[in-house]
Amino acid sequence: MSRYFRTSDSVNRDYFDVFGNGLVIFYLLMVVPLVVALWVQVYKGVWRLDIGKISKIIMMVLFVLMTLVVGFFGFYAHILFYYGFAP
């Protein structure tokens, strides 16, 4: 990274510390409550369906896994494209 930012190593480390802290705070304060609220609403809706209990559990597990996978790839794409590390 030193060829992109002509600064000392300590400044680069400070930049990435601030960057990391900002991402953690953003995802904890903005995205996590949104996803939890979405999970709660889907949970309520799934249990109202007239299907078997195992099917309801499978639907919930698949929905949670899907949101986690989409969230991971969204975070990865955010890092790559917003900060110019994409190929």
Name the pLDDT band for 1 (thresholds 50, 70, 90): very low
Q: Is the dihedral of CA 16, 86, 81, 72 positive or negative?
A: negative
Question: How do residues 24-79 score in pLDDT, each as one tens digit?
Answer: 777 777 778 888 888 888 888 888 888 888 888 888 888 888 888 888 887 787 77
Tabulate helix, strand, coil % of the chain (nearest 5).
Answer: 80, 0, 20
The band of 14, judged by pLDDT with boundaries at 50, 70 and 90, is: low
DSSP state letter for 66: H
Token pair 């609220």: residue: 37
- Which residues make Cβ contacts (< 8 Å) with residue 9, sequence separation at least 6? 2
